[in-house]
Structures are given as C-alpha cells and as structure tokens.
Amino acid sequence: QVQLVESGGGLVQPGGSLRLSCAASGSIFNINRMGWYRQAPGKLRELVAVVDSGGNTNYADSVKGRFTISRDNAKNTVYLQMNSLKSEDTAIYYCNANIRTLGGRTFDAWGQGTQVTVSS
C-alpha cells in the first residue's frame, strides 16, 4: 500500500510564491520518477515538472525559470517551489510518483490534489 500526501497549496497574489510538498509512504522499494501535474477547469491535465532518481529535471515551457522541482530521497518527498506566480498558474496540482513496491509491483501513484489560486 502506497500513499501520497500533498501540502502547501493556497491563495497567493500575482508575483507571489508557494512551496508544494508531497510525501510518499508505504511499502516502497524505490521511486523512479516524481513529478507535479496540474489541471485547470475545462482543461486537460498537464505535466508541470518532473525529476528522476538521478536528479534530472524537466519543466513545462510555461513554468521554466519560475518553478523548481526537487526531491529528498531519504524522506520520499518531492517539492515544487513556485515563484513569480501568475493567474494562469491557477489549477489543482497533483503529485505523481512512479513507484516500485517491496512486492515487486511498479505503478504510478497519485496524490489527492491541492488547490493553487493566484488572484489579487
């Protein structure tokens, strides 16, 4: 059993910052990739940022230079530092992790989502 718990969402003014956290727990052997997706009303879910087990990162063009993804392997936690936030960043943000369990299963786990609202 694996669980992802997200925190850090909320309301922020344009130009402000938020830091999202997502901690994985359960019968984890290792985590191959961790990332953040977001979905705004009426739009498809899109990849925001991803980091692999070696620390390599990839970002959506719309957030490049403003967002930073990082991970703490000892805590099975991924972070998303969001700076210079814009109204178009408003969405539900979902944590994702590709996990191999102690029983040998590999699958994508998802968090419940955390709301980020950028508004004055």
Instruction: Output the average pLDDT for the chain.
Output: 96
What percentage of the chain has pLDDT greater than the value 90?
98
Amino acid at 55: G
Residues 6+ apart with CB under 8 A from 99: 2, 24, 28, 29, 30, 31, 32, 106, 107, 108, 109
How large is the average pLDDT for residues 10-22?
A: 98
pLDDT tens digits, residue range 25-79?
Answer: 999 999 999 999 999 999 999 999 999 999 999 999 999 999 999 999 999 999 9
Does pLDDT of 1 surpass 90? no
What percentage of the chain has pLDDT greater than the value 70?
100
